[in-house]
Amino acid sequence: MIGYGFMGAAHSVGWRQAPRVFDLPDDVEMAVVVGRNADAVADAAARWGWAEAATDWREVIARDDIDIVDIVTPGDSHAEIAIAALGEGKHVLCEKPLANTVDEAEAMAEAAERAVADGIRSMVGFTYRRVPAVTLMHDLIARGLIGEVRQVRAAYRQDWLVDPDVPLAWRLQKEHAGSGALGDIGAHIIDMTQFVTGLDVTAISGTVDTIVKQRPILAERAGLGGTASHEYGEVTVDDVAVFTGRLANGALTSFEATRFATGRKNSLTIEVSGERGALAFDLERLNELRHYDRTAPAELQGFTDILVTEPEHPYVSAWWPAGHMLGYEHGFSHQVVDFVTAIVQGTDPDPSFAEGLRVQRVLAAVEDSAANDSAWVRVDDAVPARA
């Protein structure tokens, strides 16, 4: 695993738990975690269960005893690491968004396609697909439960940047993150919409805004210790993105990605309205899926809660007795299960780098539209944003 921050911790939990809970088709060894700071990455290895720590990712991906490379670094290094790892014959799991630009994502998708000829697989870490309720939502829509999709409303709201004294970090710098709320959490709702409906976003009209344009630089970055300094740096990404999309069947969908939704810590919601009913999911109630059946008798109509904790539900049978809840971390175990199974069986894991590229094109279309007074932009015609 290359990288060891927040996502590194989450991925480590997935790699450690999956072989102990699920019957994987092959053994998995957590061999080595890589980071630039030797002491910090050694601490991460000890804490999260990696056998070794290293500081040179190029040396690690060249090792004969490494089969899989898991990339959890900032977006500006995804393309370089993934393409190099695929070239070394390693299977690659890469965190979302796939890259910082369409050009980078295209290069990654092309490298992944070439690698398939040698039996090398790759996957993007859109982990919320693996929340059982979201997987169930996809399955029920594909089964025709709500009929033709007519409208979608998707939002991802957080509030961790409301305080203007929150320090400048890599997620707030375009050269490292590519974009702000749009790419970081907007990518999730774009992918989730396309995943659960089975329909691509084909056109976009949107706007983005940066609410706090300067933030304090941590003193440690200026060599002064760990407190805030009097130096400020520019925030070069968006804080909020609001956009409308057109799906392949003509249905409209609304999207909101924001880090300024005061009081919302990690609120991801999606509601899909169809001709025969609707389905709704809320990450803050992640063991539930809400269903509305328009064909039911009038006196019985209304949203009902499905408790997604039964053995018949996706992934659930491997865990606890019926009715016992799962949490945020379980999706990372499910991701490992699906990725390792695809590698061993020689099948294409999902979502592919090609699907990650599709999300990247939608992100570019939002930025293109925002730069042109929210004009409608066809996703395939979007001018790629340059990092």
Q: Where are the domains of the chain?
A: 6-128, 132-285+287-326
Cα end-to-end distance, the chain, whole Å: 25
pLDDT for the residue numbered 31: 98
Residues contacting residue 227 through CB under 8 Å, at least 6 positions apart = 218, 219
Longest distance between any two alpha carbons in the chain, whole Å: 69
Q: Is the pLDDT of residue 221 over 70?
A: no
Q: What is the pLDDT of residues 159-200, one digit of tens each?
A: 999 999 999 999 999 999 889 999 999 999 999 999 999 999
Q: What angle do CA 335, 340, 344 make, to 5 degrees?
A: 155
Percent of the chain surpassing pLDDT 90: 94
pLDDT band at 218 (very low <50, low <70, confident <90, very high): confident
Residue among 127, 274, 133, 281 at smallest CA distance from 199 = 274
pLDDT for the residue numbered 275: 97
Q: What is the pLDDT of residues 253-275, one digit of tens each?
A: 999 999 999 999 999 999 999 99
Print burial letters for 288-298: b (CB count within 10 Å at least 16), e (below 16).
bbbbbbeeeee
- Asked if 35 contacts 3 with a C-beta cutoff of 8 angstroms, the reply is yes
**Rounded mean pLDDT, 214-228:** 63
Q: What is the DSSP letter of 139?
A: H
CATH number of this structure's domain 6-128: 3.40.50.720
pLDDT for the residue numbered 68: 98
Give Cα 61 to chain centroid, integer Å: 23
DSSP helix/strand/coil, 145: coil
Q: How far apart are CA 12 and CA 48, in angstroms?
A: 6
Q: Is the pLDDT of residue 155 over 50?
A: yes
CATH number of this structure's domain 132-285+287-326: 3.30.360.10
Place of tokens 């344009």: 213
At position 1, the amino acid (one-letter code) is M
DSSP helix/strand/coil, 128: helix
Q: How far apart are CA 122 and CA 351, in angstroms?
A: 9
DSSP string, 85-113: HHHTT-EEEEESSS-SSHHHHHHHHHHHH
pLDDT for the residue numbered 382: 77
pLDDT for the residue numbered 219: 63
Q: Is the pLDDT of residue 225 over 70?
A: no
Q: What is the pLDDT of residues 324-374, one digit of tens each?
A: 999 999 999 999 999 999 999 999 999 999 999 999 999 999 999 999 999
